[in-house]
Structure 1
Amino acid sequence: MLDWVAYRKELLGRIGEIGKLSPDTVAGYQTLSNAGQKTGHLDAKTHELIALAVAVTTRCDGCITVHAAQALKNGASREEIAEALGVAIALNAGAALVYSARVMDAVSAHSAG
């Protein structure tokens, strides 16, 4: 497994380099990232639990290390994190099932033609 703490530190440093080379790109990302937090409908912990579930479904190691640290900082327990990951696992399996149905639909369409 990765050294997640060292990876996070290195990753944030590299993103800082990108920010110096292309400040509008990083500023645009930060605007998107912070937009949902401004409404105040979800607390910070819930936001991070969702982010971790999405990080799993998008297979983003950078997202995992950043949001794992933030989830813990915002009071998420290991049990809450595991439950959020359970949702991600179920949806990934569900998405595979849905897209399998789409494949079968495409096969039917191509067979008929």
Structure 2
Amino acid sequence: MRKLCNIQLFHTSKVEIFAPLRKEEVGLLIKSLRKSATLHEVIDVSKVVAELIENINYKMILGRSKDDKFDLKELVHEELTLIGMFDLADYLPWLRPFDLQV
């Protein structure tokens, strides 16, 4: 997974290719911040920056904007949960058809 990310996402040429995408997303963020500032709204900077990073990742990995149909964050969370789970079928192969994960 690390090698795949290094080759496909973090290689110098890929970082340069995605520069316009990052500029676009940061531009949208600044536009949103200006609007909030003129309306004197309180902004949770941590949340806004997390959304910026999430939007950039969606476009880099999936090639499209974030939508409600596919939640990448939830998918990663579920994957990490499943990786850490104990699978009974690893020790009792005859239980494999039942997919019992503790």
Using the size of structure 1 for normalisation, the TM-score is 0.26
Using the size of structure 2 for normalisation, the TM-score is 0.28
Greater fraction of residues in helix: 1
